Structure 1
Amino acid sequence: MTILNLNALGVTVGETLFSDLNLTISKGDRIGLVAANGRGKSTLMGCIAGTYEPTTGEITRARGLRMGHVAQYVPDDARDKTLYDYVLAALPPEQADYESWRVDVLLDELSVPYDLRQKPLRDLSGGWQRTALLAATWITEPDLLLLDEPTNHLDLHRIGLLQDWLAALPRDLPVIVISHDRAFLDAVTNKTLFLRQENSRHFALPFTAARAAMEEADAADERRFANDLNKASQLRRQAAKLKNIGINSGSDLLVNKTKQLTERAAKIEAAAKPAHQERGAGDIRLSHGGTHAKALITLEDIPVTTPDGRVLYTTGKKWISPGDRVVLLGSNGTGKTRLVRLIDQAINGDMPGIRAAPTLSEGYSDQHLSQLMDDDTPMGAVTGNFDVGDQRARGLLAGAGVNIQMQQTKIAALSGGQKARLAMLILRLQQPNFYLLDEPTNHLDIEGQEALEAELIADQIACLLVSHDRSFLRNVGNRFWEIRGKRLVEVDDPEAFLATEIAG
């Protein structure tokens, strides 16, 4: 049963985000919405939810359709509310008086600890804020659930819980999910929409299978386009030969035939459509300075502690050599970021038990991108810290997916994806030989993730990274350290850990 239909939908904001989009949403559809950063995913979701007006086309909704739109961020005017009160306020006043028990039941289903329910949203992590947004939407009992980046800031265990929760929803409930987490999309969707400026494609397949089908369809388009151009070229060559013969012989019949062949060639060329070429959202090109050190980082058996001195685990003797791409595995709260910060402190100062090679040059990015100053501009961040002129800086920023219009805008106004790409550009310009990356794929689109993966692997860049993105850590890592109990141990691969975390 169809509940919503998009007909020739398009949005133009300065440039065309998408156009002539046709899509039917039926009961039971679990649709993954995929596109590069800044290509209109959230805008399309706003159109579907009725909060954004499309430029062209129309949306037909089933009568009485109740929409549940889970946005990425908590509204500013709600940040002082407790998680519990925020969810309760989503109910109509008459229901809130008599059905507050529904809030407790739902928060239990979402495994929200009781002590967090009474904390203001502003004091909660990004992951728990997203859980609050989801709960406040679901308690209204929508007929269509729209999820915008629901896994951002969630650890693996919470991603697993979210997957299980979605799987337990009524089978006929349609869900549309925006996500850059490839493994998550494969787990929770049965259809995929690749949103494009024109010629968007959708497949009745989860992401990985749909991606392969799209590449095959694009290749077929490329072959068809080449054949059309070849056919037109042949017709024009025939027309040129006949034209010469007709002129020399004075034959009007050949002259007319020449005109017909030329017109046919022109029609074929006009109708031929080139295969889709993704407008680069910005290549990530990491580079590194050389080093002859055998070990860039050496860890003695040091304790990793909480701020108040409680020991979380000890590291044992560990080292990171050039070309090592070490993935740090551990449940949320076990101290992954603490170790990353200790290593950063050792590189930039002194930390007993951690030695950095004298030739080590560090590139550090944390999960909050705190190396970016909100009051600065992208242009200022590049020209103020590196010896590049304005013209080259503009080219570098455009290549990193920060368009000309945004380059003089405050960094605070950039999207999460644009900030992530700017952070990667700044790392590149530093030319380190060792990268410390804490959740580098937060807000980074699939195209950007795959580019980062390719660069880390191709250039044999040494790094220590923390990530909850299963596809990313599997593809990048060639060594794996796991926080197991009170020890940091090296394991052959991450699969046992991932299976345990996702299963909960």
Structure 2
Amino acid sequence: MITLKNVTLRRSSKVLLDQASVTINPGENVGLVGRNGAGKSSLFAVLNGSLHEDGGEFSIPTQWRMSQVAQDMPETDQSATDFVVAGDTGLLAAQNEVALAEASDDGMRMAHAYMALHDAGAHDAPARAQGLILGLGFSVAELDRPVNSFSGGWRMRLQLARALMCPSELLLLDEPTNHLDLDALVWLEAWLKHYAGTIIVISHDREFLDSITNVTIHIDQSKLVRYGGNYSKFEDMRAEQLILRQAAQAKQQEKAAHLQKFIDRFKAKASKAKQAQSRVKALERMEKIAPILADAEFQFEFKEPFSLPNPMLSMSDASFGYPPSEDAPAGTPPTTIVQRVNRSVLAGQRIGILGANGQGKSTLVKTIAGALQPIAGEIITGKGLNIGYFSQQELDVLRPADTPLEHMIRLARDTPASVRPSAMECREQGLRNFLGTFNFSGDMVKQAVGSMSGGEKARLVLCMIVWQRPNLLLLDEPTNHLDLATREALSVALNEFEGSVMLVSHDRALLRSVCDEFWLVSRGGLSDFAGDLDDYQVYLLEEARRQRDAVAV
């Protein structure tokens, strides 16, 4: 088992853990939760040995093999398959021993080495690696592509596949869902449920935590508090504890006030001096119940749109895709991904866009947003349509060298007068005040966006969208860098929004709470999805199985 006893952990002058203790038993699937900056990733660093505790005792079984997703971006010409196979450290060690044995010309050593190579699974390693790669959303055609040819997000998926490939008794996962679509996320959950070792995971995805964890460890006020159960069970138990603590604190404050009143009344009287002094000591001895420092919730709301055209837009025999690249030969046709769509988006509709990876969800949303032109057909917009677009890549709309204030000033300048907020809201002080409501205050309004965290960038994009008072929200994976509290705030704000919503997300809790209907992008078309998200997860697993079967053939 993993044991931490009275562990103290500091980063610079900040105390992250203060005499914290917890035990993790073999085979447990643990969700590690706590507000941003509480020390979750630093605790991972203690577990993997890259950071040492400043006090107390920490132990982990010496025979346990550990696997963790590397956070660096891989730079290699290896094929995707070879890169993931290389994650099997046991196989690599066996291959190295075979090479040494063959060079030594020692027959007995070679026999043992070949046996160890067989036991390490050399015969089916490429197939196992390819199963992981396909499960995480790659296509069959990409199995032999060089790692360097993939974008950053896809390379991080390969790092995840490599970690899953490595034999281990302890698997550490720090935000494994950030770069995944819903289909890859569903596959990952199914894989982790069959993992035989101990899992410790940091995640802001409520349903992911609920699905795979059976223990929750909360970093709270520099302590490690263990709860039996998944994230939802933890929330229920913590809420009960907060209620009890609040009641106890109220009772304590009432008693303290009574004691203080006695002290103030009699401390100057000689006949009562001893009694007053005893009350002072009682007040000092009284156990101080820590104030209830509930995690600060970030809250916001979408203002009422200026107008609600109905329909918001209509797609008439529209096809979506990408034009040929600039260096493509003359006459190269565009790449069509979704075709012959005839649909309307009505005022007040709340649509979840579903579809396996690569089917065209983001392409559809980008085209409706105007970032791409339809390949064929047309999109007719309603009078007064005002779109708020959250791109999957926030930097598509952010300039790294500019500050939040500069972004808002440019937004105010470029917003058409017909949908521009009041003159007061467009002035610099008004923009500063508005940024403050999204937790951009003080020097942060003058900080270059490129130096900000992913969560801060996402928060700035949300701030810019809310300021524009849109009537149609196009949200493509808006929660990738948001913590649980901010995801909850977004869910509440979307449910109160009076306009229309089109949402692409792997956050099933957000999809369930916001969307009334689902559209499925699949095999070049767009159709209604009649089932719920549980039905959709079954559909995704069947699609993944179909792909794996295709590779096996």
For the criterion TM > 0.5, the same-fold answer is yes
Deviations 1:120-174 (A, max 9, x none): 334335564344223333444232110111122222222222112112221xx11
Distance 2:265 2:476 in 1: 66
Alpha-carbon spacing, 1:317–1:160, altered in 2? closer, same or farther (3 Å): closer
- Structure 1 length as normaliser, TM-score? 0.86
Give the aligned partner of residue 218 of structure 1.
242
Instruction: Specify the SS of the correspondent of 1:33.
Output: strand
The partner residue of 1:279 within 273, 296, 305 is: 296
The partner residue of 1:181 within 205, 210, 221 is: 205
- Which shifted more, 370-379 or 180-189? 370-379
Give the aligned partner of residue 104 of structure 1.
126
Q: Kindly indicate whether the alpha-carbon contact (under 8 Å) linking 1:480 and 1:490 is maintained by their aligned counterparts in 2.
A: yes
Distance 1:390 1:431 in 2: 18
Q: Kindly indicate whether the alpha-carbon contact (under 8 Å) linking 1:12 and 1:18 is maintained by their aligned counterparts in 2.
A: no
Show the 5 A alignment for 1:388-427.
397=435, 399-401=437-439, 408-427=446-465
- Alignment of 1:500 with 2:539, yes or no, is yes
Q: Which blocks of at least 5 consecutive residues in structure 2 are unaligned?
A: 99-116, 324-333, 413-424, 545-553
Distance 2:166 2:374 in 1: 52
Show the 5 A alignment for 1:128-147.
128-147=154-173
Q: C-alpha displacement at 1:344, in angstroms? A: 1.2
Give the aligned partner of residue 75 of structure 2.
78
Q: C-alpha displacement at 1:346, in angstroms? A: 8.5
Q: C-alpha displacement at 1:397, in angstroms? A: 4.9
Q: C-alpha displacement at 1:485, in angstroms? A: 5.2
- Structure 2 length as normaliser, TM-score? 0.79
Show the 5 A alignment for 1:24-103.
24-54=23-53, 57-71=56-70, 73=71, 75-76=72-73, 78-90=75-87, 91=89, 94-97=93-96, 101=123, 103=125
- Which shifted more, 340-349 or 452-461? 340-349
Alpha-carbon spacing, 1:484–1:63, altered in 2? closer, same or farther (3 Å): closer
Give the aligned partner of residue 168 of structure 1.
194
Q: C-alpha displacement at 1:17, in angstroms? A: 4.7
Let me know the Cα RMSD of the aligned residues: 3.2
Alpha-carbon spacing, 1:483–1:79, altered in 2? closer, same or farther (3 Å): same
Q: Kindly indicate whether the alpha-carbon contact (under 8 Å) linking 1:106 and 1:135 is maintained by their aligned counterparts in 2.
A: no
Distance 1:499 1:402 in 2: 41
- Which shifted more, 98-107 or 422-431? 98-107
Q: Which amino acid is the alignment partner of residue 83 of structure 2?
A: Y
Give the aligned partner of residue 203 of structure 1.
227
- Alignment of 1:376 with 2:402, yes or no, is yes
Distance 1:309 1:350 in 2: 8
Distance 1:502 1:33 in 2: 27
Q: Kindly indicate whether the alpha-carbon contact (under 8 Å) linking 1:316 and 1:487 is maintained by their aligned counterparts in 2.
A: no
Distance 1:311 1:140 in 2: 36
Give the aligned partner of residue 339 of structure 1.
364
Identity of aligned residues (%): 28
Q: Kindly indicate whether the alpha-carbon contact (under 8 Å) linking 1:313 and 1:485 is maintained by their aligned counterparts in 2.
A: no
Q: C-alpha displacement at 1:325, in angstroms? A: 1.8
Q: Kindly indicate whether the alpha-carbon contact (under 8 Å) linking 1:16 and 1:197 is maintained by their aligned counterparts in 2.
A: no
Alpha-carbon spacing, 1:441–1:491, altered in 2? closer, same or farther (3 Å): same
Give the aligned partner of residue 445 of structure 1.
483
Give the aligned partner of residue 508 of structure 2.
470
Alpha-carbon spacing, 1:315–1:139, altered in 2? closer, same or farther (3 Å): closer
Show the 5 A alignment for 1:291-306.
291-305=307-321
Q: Kindly indicate whether the alpha-carbon contact (under 8 Å) linking 1:299 and 1:318 is maintained by their aligned counterparts in 2.
A: yes
Deviations 1:292-315 (A, max 9, x none): 423222223423346534363432
Distance 2:73 2:126 in 1: 24
Alpha-carbon spacing, 1:80–1:389, altered in 2? closer, same or farther (3 Å): farther
Give the aligned partner of residue 380 of structure 2.
355
Distance 1:57 1:354 in 2: 64
Q: Which amino acid is the alignment partner of residue 237 of structure 1?
A: K
Distance 1:57 1:400 in 2: 39
Give the aligned partner of residue 252 of structure 2.
228
Distance 1:347 1:129 in 2: 25
Give the aligned partner of residue 435 of structure 1.
473
Q: Kindly indicate whether the alpha-carbon contact (under 8 Å) linking 2:519 and 2:529 is maintained by their aligned counterparts in 1.
A: yes
- Which shifted more, 215-224 or 16-25? 16-25
Deviations 1:101-132 (A, max 9, x none): 56414314425355423223343355643442
Distance 1:191 1:54 in 2: 23
Q: C-alpha displacement at 1:328, in angstroms? A: 1.3
Alpha-carbon spacing, 1:483–1:11, altered in 2? closer, same or farther (3 Å): same
Q: C-alpha displacement at 1:192, in angstroms? A: 1.1
Instruction: Specify the SS of the correspondent of 2:368.
Output: helix
Q: C-alpha displacement at 1:83, in angstroms? A: 2.4
